[in-house]
Amino acid sequence: MSTASVKLAVIIVSYCNADDVDRCLRSLARSDWGNFEVFICENGGEAAYGRLLAALVGPDRTLQRTSDEADALDQPQERLASVTKCRFQNRANVVRVGLATENLGYGGGVNAWLKPLLGVPGWGSVLVLNPDTEVESRGLSELIAKSAEGFGMVGGSLVFDDTPDKIINYGLHWSRMTGRVIAVGRNAPLGSAPSVDDLGRLDAVSGACVLATRAFVEDVGLMAEDYFLYMEDLDWGRRRGKHRIGFASKAIIRHVGGTTIGSATAPEKRSHLSIYLSARNSIVYARRFAGWRWICHFGVGLLFAARYVLKSSVSAGRVAFVGLLDGAKGKTGRPDTFFGTQQRG
C-alpha cells in the first residue's frame, strides 16, 4: 500500500488540561501529513468538557465547528455522552471532541474512540498521543512511512520538552527478573537510533506517542483498561504476537510529562496517585506476565517504597506499600476511594 493512501486516526485523552490539548492540536495543524482525523476524549466531566471546547473552538481559536454532513462517529457513542465535530481553522482535517460518560482512565479513554473506529472502514493506522506532546511537522509522515516497512507498532524520537536534544526513550523494556520498566535509550542524543540489540529488547512503545496499524489493533485488540493508568502501553506491546516494533528516528515528539497527575517531578515529590498506581500496576502486570516471579517483583517494590521513607517521605512510602498490597490482592481500575479521579500525564 502506498503510504499516501493511509488515513490516520489520532486519539488524544484529556483530563482537565485544555491548554495542553490546544498546544498538541496546534502542532498537528502544522503537519506535512494531510490524511488524518483527530479524536479527543475528555475524561474530566461536563465542566471540563465545556472548558475544553471554550479553549479550542471559536474565531480566534485553533478549531471551528463544522456543519459537514454527520456520520456515525459524530453521534454519541457507547461511552461518549456528547461529540462536537470541528475542523482546524487553517485546514480541513476533522477534529471530534468527545465527553466520556465517566473518567475511563487512559486505556478506557483511548478505547472510547478506538472501539467505534474498528467498525469504520478507511483508516489504516491509529496514533495514540498524550495531550502534553507536540509533534514536529514531519512526525506523522515519518511514523507512517516506518509502519509501511512492515512494523505493527511504531515509536518516534520522544524528547524532553526542556531538553529537546535528548531522547526520553526509544521504547520500553520490562525486566522479567525485577519487574522494573526500563526506558531504553534514555538520554541518548537526538538523531540517534536504537541498535539491533536495543530494538530486540523493546517490549512496547511508550504510550505517550505510539502508532499502531489497523492490522495490529484487529489482531491484538484494544488497550487494557483495568490498569486505569500506567502499564497499559506495555500490556499492549507484550500482546503484539507477530507484529514487530519499529522506530522512526526522524519523527520528533516533544513531551512535557506529568502535567495532570504529578509524575514528572523528582521521585520523592511525585503525587500520591502516581506513586500508588505505579506500585499497584507493576504487580498487576507481573501477575499476568511473570508467573510466580511476581513475588520477587513485590520484594523489589518494597525496596523502592523504602527509598521514599529514606528520602524523608514517609507518606509516599506508605502509599507505595498500599499500592503493592492492592496489586497483590488483584485490585484494578480507578482508585476513587483514596485519590479521586485524576488521570494522565
3-state helix, strand, coil in the chain (%, to 5): 40, 25, 35
- Residue range of the domain that includes 280: 267-339
Task: Assess if residue 262 is contained within a domain.
Answer: no
Other CB atoms within a 10 A radius of the CB of residue 191 amount to 11
Nearest residue to 117 via CA among 212, 49, 43: 212
Q: Which of 255, 284, 315 is the last residue of a domain?
A: 255
14, 121: one domain:
yes
Task: Assess if residue 166 is contained within a domain.
Answer: yes
251, 274: one domain:
no
Q: What is the pLDDT of residues 253-290, one digit of tens each?
A: 999 875 555 444 455 567 899 999 999 999 999 999 99
What is the C-alpha separation between 12 and 307, in angstroms, rounded?
Answer: 34
Task: Assess if residue 260 is contained within a domain.
Answer: no
Q: What is the pLDDT of residues 70-91, one digit of tens each?
A: 789 999 999 999 999 999 999 9
Q: Tell me, what's the pLDDT at 340?
A: 46
SS3 labels along 90-103: CCCCEEEEEEECCC
288, 174: one domain:
no
Task: Assess if residue 345 is contained within a domain.
Answer: no
197, 276: one domain:
no
Judging by DSSP bridges, how do beta strands 181-184 and 171-174 pair with one another? antiparallel
Task: Assess if residue 29 is contained within a domain.
Answer: yes
Q: How far apart are the first and last CA of the chain?
A: 35
Task: Assess if residue 344 is contained within a domain.
Answer: no
Nearest residue to 43 via CA among 80, 83, 11: 80
Q: Tell me, what's the pLDDT at 339?
A: 53
124, 237: one domain:
yes
110, 236: one domain:
yes
CATH number, domain of 112, equals 3.90.550.60
297, 197: one domain:
no
Nearest residue to 107 via CA among 343, 331, 271: 343
Q: Tell me, what's the pLDDT at 337?
A: 58
Q: Tell me, what's the pLDDT at 344?
A: 40
Q: Which of 227, 255, 283 is the last residue of a domain?
A: 255
Q: Tell me, what's the pLDDT at 258?
A: 56
Task: Assess if residue 32 is contained within a domain.
Answer: yes
DSSP for 285-339 reads HHHHHSGGGHHHHHHHHHHHHHHHHHTT-HHHHHHHHHHHHHHHTT--S--HHHH
Q: Which of 233, 255, 277 is the last residue of a domain?
A: 255
Grid cell for residue 212? 499502531
127, 242: one domain:
yes
DSSP for 30-99 reads T-S--SEEEEEEE-S-HHHHHHHHHHHBSTTSSEEE--PPP-GGGS-BTTEEEEEEEEESSS--EEEEEE
What is the C-alpha separation between 98 and 105, in angstroms, rounded?
Answer: 14
289, 246: one domain:
no
Give strand ranges (E) for 214-260.
244-255
Q: Tell me, what's the pLDDT at 262?
A: 47
Q: Tell me, what's the pLDDT at 288?
A: 96
43, 91: one domain:
yes
Segments of the chain with pLDDT less than 70: 1-4, 258-269, 336-345
236, 276: one domain:
no
Helix axes 294-310, 272-289, angle to 10 degrees: 160
161, 278: one domain:
no
Task: Assess if residue 165 is contained within a domain.
Answer: yes
The tally of domains found in the chain comes to 2
